[in-house]
Amino acid sequence: MLSACSPAPIEGEDVSYSPPAWMADVVAQDEEYMSAMTTCLEDRGQTVMAHGGKVGIETLSDEDGQILPGVSELADEAWGECSALVPEQAYISDDRDLEYDRMFDTVECLAHEGYPLAAPPSREAWVSGSVEYSPYAELTETGDGGSWAVETDEVLRLLEVCPASSQKLILLDPREPG
């Protein structure tokens, strides 16, 4: 009689957690989208920032921080052209029931990575839209509106390990209002 053998767990490794399959799919789609969108925008002369499934155009400014004339218009034109050519990631959904389940998966993953968060809102509140909640906004919130509570490099690492399935759940710029 043959028995199935699996390698012994590494000491200290948590064998009770396994990320859901959708997370690997999100990371793969994000990489494909970021690569295609970055190439398209750079082909149109734009300087691009890309991470966590998001792509942005870095606008050029003068020494006073003022955006150079015509730069915004060129960026908007390039963005419009590339958005028409590069489809959004297929996982992006407006199904709030699905997003709620996936949000819980992200919260569980973050806890596994050493970042336990307060309990998310109830399914009813979330699905109805009466409450907005983002695990990443919770993770990075300092309460004073300043820098993130978790360093940017760590947040970017976590987005690779514990992706959010909705772009609406990610706040990446610590200067953006929360």
Helix (H, G, I), strand (E, B) or coil at 61: strand
Its pTM stands at: 0.70
CB atoms within 10 A of CB 130: 10
Cβ atoms < 10 Å from Cβ of 160:
13
CA distance 93 to 111: 24
Inter-residue contact 145 to 152 (CB < 8 Å): no
Residues 91-122 have pLDDT tens digits of 887 888 888 999 999 999 999 999 999 888 99
